[in-house]
Amino acid sequence: MTPHNHAIKGDYADAVLLPGDPLRAKWIAETFLDEAKLVNSVRNCLGYTGTWKGKRVSVQATGMGQPSLSIYVHELINTYGLKTLIRVGTCGGLNARVKVRDLILAQAASTDSAIVRDRFGPYNFAPIADFGLLRAAAEKAEAAGMRYHAGNMLSSDIFYHADGFAGYDKLPDHGVIGVEMEAAALYTLAARFGVKALTICTMTDCLITHEEIDANERQTSLKEMVTLALDVAVE
Ligand SMILES: Nc1nc(Cl)c2ncn([C@@H]3O[C@H](CO)[C@@H](O)[C@H]3O)c2n1
């Protein structure tokens, strides 16, 4: 038990999917998992454990943003002993070659967050995905004919920028292809505690072309992302 989680050790599988939205955790459990059991509901940040293709796997909501994700991830690793953590969610697009509904596999995660700077002094630590998980996700996406891009993701602490916002400045010119708000903290904690992490996002609104996914397409695209994440998680 922790201040944010009433599960007991063993309630979670070794691998977990991490959506930000608690209702998306519920949707994943109810739609994809067999024998899904609610293991956490503190603050309504719902967590479930069930099976996917006969193998045990969990899903736990993290809330939006790096501070919230960091609480859940720190506890999942250090209190519950989880070894594989895969964030699933939505992101914005920062490159026109990424079309809405495409998947982005965050190979690395750049950030404006103090949470990643907190102990590196003059060094800019590079938060990266676990190569094995990234390779498995790319191979499975390829085999399934999914449209995906592996690249550098921006994990920003800001959703609404102040006036004079310069479109993330030079980042898109340096290969940053998407923006969300959690991956960098996930990768930094995974590196700190020696576990595996990956982020798979569905691009839902392009900040370059201003194309957006429409509501009913949203769920279909999310199914592709969740199926891929579950296959990687249980491999
Ligand atoms: N900054 C930001 N910008 C765009 Cl264009 C986003 N599209 C999806 N997200 C994700 O969705 C939530 C914000 O709506 C966050 O959890 C974030 O990870 C985005 N976050």
Q: Is the CB of 156 under 6 A from ligand 1?
A: yes
Asked whether residue 147 carries a pLDDT value surpassing 90, the answer given is yes
Asked whether residue 215 carries a pLDDT value surpassing 90, the answer given is no
Chain segment 33-74, per-residue pLDDT in tens: 999 999 999 999 999 999 999 999 999 999 999 999 999 999
Q: Is the CB of 205 under 6 A from ligand 1?
A: yes
Q: Is the CB of 110 under 6 A from ligand 1?
A: no
Share of the chain above pLDDT 70, in %: 100
**Interface ipTM:** 0.99
- Residue with the smallest CA separation from ligand 1 atom 4 is 92
Give the whole-angstrom CA distance, residue 77 versus residue 185.
Answer: 13
Q: Determine which of 57-66, 93-102, 156-165 has the lowest per-residue pLDDT on average.
A: 156-165
Q: Is the CB of 102 under 6 A from ligand 1?
A: no
Measured in Å, residue 147 CA sits from the centre of ligand 1 at 20
Q: What is the pLDDT of residue 20?
A: 97
Q: Is the CB of 181 under 6 A from ligand 1?
A: yes
